[in-house]
Chains A and B, each alone.
Chain A
Amino acid sequence: SSHEHKLNFKKSKEVCLSYIQDAMLHKQWKRAAEFLTFYIESLEKDYSREYMGPSEIIWRIGTEILCHHSQSSMKEFNSFIEQMKTLGVKRFLKVCLEHTFHLLCNGLIDEAYQNLSLAESWRYGEQTAIQDKEMKLIQAYRGLLDYYSWSKQKNILLEHGQDGFEDLSVEQEMHSCFRKATVNLKEITKIPGVWDQFVKCYVDLLEFYGDHNEARQVLNEYAYNSKFPANPNAHVYLYQFLKRHGESKKSLISALKILHDVAPSHELMIDFNTMLQKSKKRKKRRLGLEVIFAALDYAGWKENVKAWSCLARQVKQIVISEKHLDWIKVEWNSRKDWWPAFHFSRYLAKRNWQENESLSYEKALVAGILLGKDCKYFKYVSHQGCKAQVKRFRILKKFVNKRNPVYLRISG
């Protein structure tokens, strides 16, 4: 009968949980809270070996309810979390971290900091790998908060510095914050992972104190270490860093080249293209064309006027100089079966004309060159443009009509 009892107990536990879930999903927080008080009994005989035991469920549900319950206060929340911390030793750090987030969301930064330091000093038995990682994370967040107070003090100093006022104690405090923050942030950037926020802060700190080498090393590591997941942001940060420090064009281009390989649809590709277009080298200009074509492959760029004008400019340049028409031909070959439908349909011509005239202008130019003067898109837009008596459309029409042989060479 004890087995039966266990079974019944389990069943009623499940039923209770489903009631709680139902109430929560209907946003009936009061009702959910009532049921949760019953559910706490399930802790008594916790036989489960499931992925998520009742104590964890109680923690999660309780947090959620307290977040939304109309009558909950911060004090209640804190006391609940304290209880939860003692409930599951293995989860202690996780609970602490969540608690910190909640405090931060409510603007209680000092309490959050305290909480983190408390968690950091906590020791229990042998440290497992997961605990180690969580501890690192807690340290990193503490570092982040240190950084926050550092930047706050920095701002105070900067403001006051303008008034010619110097406060040694503030400055000292700021430096101590810096030291604490760097130690903690450095640790986390050594572990593979996505640490955008931490890396940014760390680099900012290092840059402020003039430690550019260290900063560069961190960013390089973050971008190029193959153990880290491929992260386009890492390359963006590196590029921004290099740009800030007036690095040579070559290194900037090489940074962006890698970004292009990782994420050809990144916004920086426009910068990359303009940079390459200006280059003297043929190879680089060719790469520029590739970059802009590739960017426009993506659906997100469909209506990007800047990108289209970049492409239009470069294509026009090539057509006028009549050199390197083969570049366009190569690029166009792999796209001619789907770009017309993707970019240059009659429907889009109509819509672009209605919504964005300059976009339709740039696109019509490209369409006219790539698809000839009989292209639907070009025909519609130039017709409408001429009808509306806009000068540049008339020039466009003339230009394309004159250059029609180019189209034949490209498509041929």
Chain B
Amino acid sequence: FVPRRGGTCESWEPADTAAVPFLPPNAGSWIPSLVPQDILCRGIVHGKSRAGKSGAVLDFTRQLSHFFVDHPEDAFGSLGQLLHKNFYLGNSKLRRPARESTIRMTALMEDIDRLEATRGCPRQRLSSRLRWFSHLCRDWLFEVPLGLLADCVHEELLLQWASLLFDDSPTGGALAWLPPEDTGARMGRLVYPRGQAMNHLCILPSEVSWGGKRSFVALALTGTPDFQDVVLEELPHTRGSPAQFELNGRIRQVAAARVDGEDIIGVRSDYHCGVWKVPARMGAAPTPLQVICTSVPASCLTVSPHLPGELAVCTQSGAVYLWSIETGLQQLRHDPQTMFFRDHSPWRWSDFTAHPRVLSCADRTGLQCLDSRAPERCHFDLFKVGEEAGCQQGERVVLPMYLGRAHPSQHLVTTQFSVYVMDERLPLVPVLKWAHMMKAPPIFAHLTPAGPGRSHKVLLGASRTQEMLLLQYRGEKQGGSQSACQLAGPPQKLHSITTCLQHLPTQLPHRHRLLQQRLGVPAAGLAAALQEDGLQESLLVFQLSEAGDVFCQRLTHRAAQAPAPTSGDEPAAAPGSSSLFEALARSPPGLGNKEEEEEEEEEQTFYFPAAALRYRRWLKALSRHCRVTPRQAWPPTLSQNRLFTRKELETPVGPRALHQQARQQLRQAMREGGRIQNWDAPAPQPPALPQPLQPVGRPDPLSARLTAAWSGDWGQWWEERTSFSVAQRQRALRERRRRQKRARGRRSLSASFTSSLTYQSELSELSDTAPLPCSPGRPAAVLPREASPAGGSPPASPAPEEPLLSSQSLRCRGIPKERRKTLRDYLAVWAEDPPEPPELPGSQLSQLCIPSSQSQLSSASQPRRKRPRMGF
């Protein structure tokens, strides 16, 4: 009985703690890819990207203006011809009859120039003439109808959004490793895209030196007792310069296969596919063979492992072609619909099978095999998203791959949830299924076949998250039963490019962010090379990012018999001991990780000098590239000569003498090279201090406290606040309620004798008193002084109670004589009750709906304590 999972696997351990840059950083200004924020909230990002110069800018207006400038014939051609009579290009003034129907363009041009000059100035203002012109012509001058354009833009945005969610164009990966002819050799070739637009195909002979210079470093770290030897391998390096081919499109996919000792490389960009031939012998130059051009973007290009010069091409229109260098293209199928059920994705894929004339052909719903000799008649279903394979709802095929090098009739099918191994002879029922749990669908896969009795290694890679998984499975070649296929051991996660960020030397924050962005771009491909050197084997894994950087890491194979104390539980990467790990487990995860990182960092810089050197070199080269790029981000400049017209400069606006003096001072200062300290001459009226903000509500305790704290007597405030007991507060509340009730009762009465005079005085009182209790703008130190009647600001009117008490003032308010007495008595009662604010004006004020400022006083502790001192 053998289970499908489990079993022993070969142990492949990373030799380094992180991926190491393999090539110098991709030259040319790197165009940052779109992020969701670019589409979702443009306004914010717009500002941010200006400032930080990072992220793609979807400045549609600018793009359109570029289009107008670059293709004026297309944009305005016919209308320009129609209207050319009505545009006058001369400099002189227009005569009357002509002025009716003609515009003088020179004036318009001047306005535009002026606009150009003030570009970026936040206060720029369109001249009325320009505004008028654009208002008039906007709808018809531009020949492409705006509605149509808007539709197109909308469509494009949708496309961009879809590709942000899941971009399937790099499916298959744009990195390929061409192994050396004999496995013992240390040379191989790497095929990768380069250049600003990733449109340079590079075929690089790279020497993978191995072994030879091995050094053993034993160290003892404090706190890690059972530390073991660290084996250092020399890193692979490149030799010679790559053969470069410039293509006119971004390279999406590089596919390679070896047939008859020659490597055939297929390169796919959106509208072109090309084939190169690379002789296996080192140093032989690659030769381009053929290029095809498609009208619809191609979605797949695979190279036949059986016959030289045969490739399979799929386009997004649903067509599948067999492309032979000798005989040309043969269409096998053209079906815009998906095979098994309806799916909107135009993605198609095709690969070869065990029979050289039979091609597998895939869309998101499954795989079918087609016989190219009779594509309509002979086909069978190989994989179907559905019940047979035990698929989940919404599961879709992401990448099929022919595993011919491991087993002639097996295929790998990845979906966003699982990985399947299918056998052609037993279609529809997967031989192996495993849920990979990757965060993004794996669109890259690489197979490293192994000899009999050993496990085949499959690398799965995701684009957006840069994840890489190493799977091992075993399937007997030419084996009898299907159950021989089993997954060997647990999967293993490999380092992604981003993880090396923590091993790079510390950077300035903005550089760090830039680096983070650069290293975090989606992956664009992966490749692996198996190196054998005597007993020791190692697997070199290359990863390509969309920015064009290639990183590599090495996994070394530990033979089963070798004593491997760390192979079980310890992370192979960080040779920390178990004690370190226990400590880790106890500490919170975030902290633990940091600790680990620090550990690794230390080790990195200490134990892997070659890697550290490489990091440093890479970084240096990157910063050299980056220094050139941010040139566009100049701060906006103002051209002076367009700021003022000559006329404006000629006539001084203010009094002559003043200007003369100012000019003199200016000249002097310029001569001395100093500054103008003060314009002491008839100082212009200092601008009135902005009025402190009127508090809308009552001052909240926090601001009161802050005010107090600012003035320094915070302690006193606190005392006051605490001493102001609950009982007092309750009483105050009760009192206020009573007062309000009273006020309500008196409203009808007071209405009878209100006069315009009272209104005014009350208003003036209000305006004076209101800012008193709490003026956040004013320094708080003023407050206590103001409380004493002697001090205070001169313009402030006397405190409200004083005039109220004198009969004269009462008379002034139009209060009849007989009532003055009661009023005074009433107020006297008030005076005995210190914490109670004078409420009489309030009673009348309440009609004016301003009890707010008064009631504020009642609750805020500070003014209330002051009142009695003030009034009585």
Contact = CB atoms under 8 A, between A and B. Distances in A.
A329 to B, nearest CB: 17
Contact of B6 (A67, A197, A265, A300): A67
A194 B388 CA distance: 11
A197 B483 CA distance: 9
Interface stretch (B199-207, B564-572, B824-832): B564-572
Interface string A290-301: 000000011110
A293 B461 CA distance: 39
Nearest to A297: B355
Nearest to B407: A300
A229 interface: yes
A159 B469 CA distance: 50
A402 B149 CA distance: 76
Given A298-B354, A298-B408, A299-B305, A263 B490 contact: no
B738 to A, nearest CB: 39
Contact of B306 (A30, A34, A342): A342
B589 A342 contact: no
> Interface size class for chain B?
35 or more
B356 A338 contact: yes
A229 B386 CA distance: 14
A231 B426 contact: yes
Interface string B605-625: 000000000000000000000
B354 A265 contact: yes
Interface stretch (A19-27, A120-128, A218-226, A391-399): A19-27
A26 B492 contact: yes
B425 A105 contact: no
Contact of A31 (B260, B356, B568, B581): B581
Nearest to B358: A297
Contacts of B868: none
B492 A27 contact: yes
Interface string A31-47: 10011000000000000
Interface string A329-354: 00000100110011001011000000
Contacts of A21: 437
Contacts of A194: 426, 429, 482
Nearest to A267: B478
A25 B355 contact: no
Interface centre among A196, A232, A297, A342 (most CB of B within 10 A): A342
Contact of B573 (A26, A70, A231): A26
| Chain B contact residues, majority secondary structure | loop
Contacts of B357: 297, 338
Given A229-B428, A298-B354, A24 B404 contact: no
A104 B392 CA distance: 29
A187 interface: no
B306 A232 contact: no
A29 interface: yes
A166 interface: no
A300 B427 contact: no
Contacts of B427: 229-230
Nearest to B402: A299
Given A104-B1, A196-B483, A338-B357, A262 B569 contact: no
B393 interface: yes
A134 to B, nearest CB: 13
A230 B428 CA distance: 9
A32 B721 CA distance: 54
A101 B490 CA distance: 17
A245 to B, nearest CB: 21
A230 B589 CA distance: 51
A94 interface: no
Given A101-B3, A297-B356, A298-B354, A263 B425 contact: yes
Contact of A26 (B3, B261, B392, B571): B571
B471 to A, nearest CB: 11
A298 B483 contact: no
A299 B426 contact: no
Contacts of A229: 388, 426-429
A233 interface: yes
Interface residues of A, number: 47
A214 interface: no
B491 A233 contact: no
B275 to A, nearest CB: 15
Contacts of B306: 299, 342
B1 A299 contact: no
B149 to A, nearest CB: 40
Contact of B393 (A26, A51, A70, A105): A51
A66 to B, nearest CB: 12
Contacts of A34: 585
B307 interface: yes
B426 A300 contact: no
A383 interface: no
A30 B581 contact: yes
A364 B700 CA distance: 102
A30 B585 contact: yes
Interface centre among B357, B373, B478, B585 (most CB of A within 10 A): B585
A334 B373 contact: yes
B581 A28 contact: yes
A332 B428 CA distance: 32
A266 interface: yes
Nearest to A194: B429
B570 A28 contact: yes
B1 to A, nearest CB: 5
Contacts of A297: 355-357
Contact of B260 (A51, A265, A348): A348
Contacts of A27: 490, 492, 568-569, 571-572
Contact of B404 (A197, A299, A345): A299
A291 B733 CA distance: 105
Nearest to A148: B1
A300 B354 contact: yes
Given A19-B589, A27-B572, A338-B356, A266 B425 contact: yes
Interface in B770-829: none
A341 B304 CA distance: 12
A341 B482 contact: no
Nearest to A200: B481
A300 B409 contact: yes
A69 interface: yes
Interface in B396-425: 404, 408-409, 425
B493 A22 contact: yes
B611 to A, nearest CB: 19
A147 B3 CA distance: 18
Contacts of B581: 28, 30-31
B28 interface: no
Which of B1, B307, B388, B573 is most buried by chain A, counting CB atoms within 10 A of its CB? B1
Nearest to B261: A347
B308 interface: yes
B732 interface: no
B674 to A, nearest CB: 59
B27 interface: no
Contacts of A345: 260, 308
A315 to B, nearest CB: 20
Interface string B573-616: 10000100110110001000000000000000000000000000
Contacts of B481: 196, 233
A64 interface: yes
14 contacts: A26-B493, A26-B572, A27-B569, A28-B569, A28-B571, A51-B393, A64-B490, A68-B568, A69-B569, A196-B483, A233-B482, A265-B408, A299-B404, A341-B308
Given A27-B568, A69-B569, A233-B426, 18 more contacts: A21-B437, A22-B493, A27-B572, A30-B581, A30-B582, A31-B581, A34-B585, A70-B568, A70-B569, A105-B3, A197-B483, A229-B426, A230-B426, A299-B355, A300-B408, A341-B307, A345-B260, A347-B260
Interface of B: 1, 3, 6, 260-262, 305-308, 327, 354-357, 373, 388, 392-393, 404, 408-409, 425-429, 437, 469, 478, 481-483, 490-493, 568-573, 578, 581-582, 584-585, 589
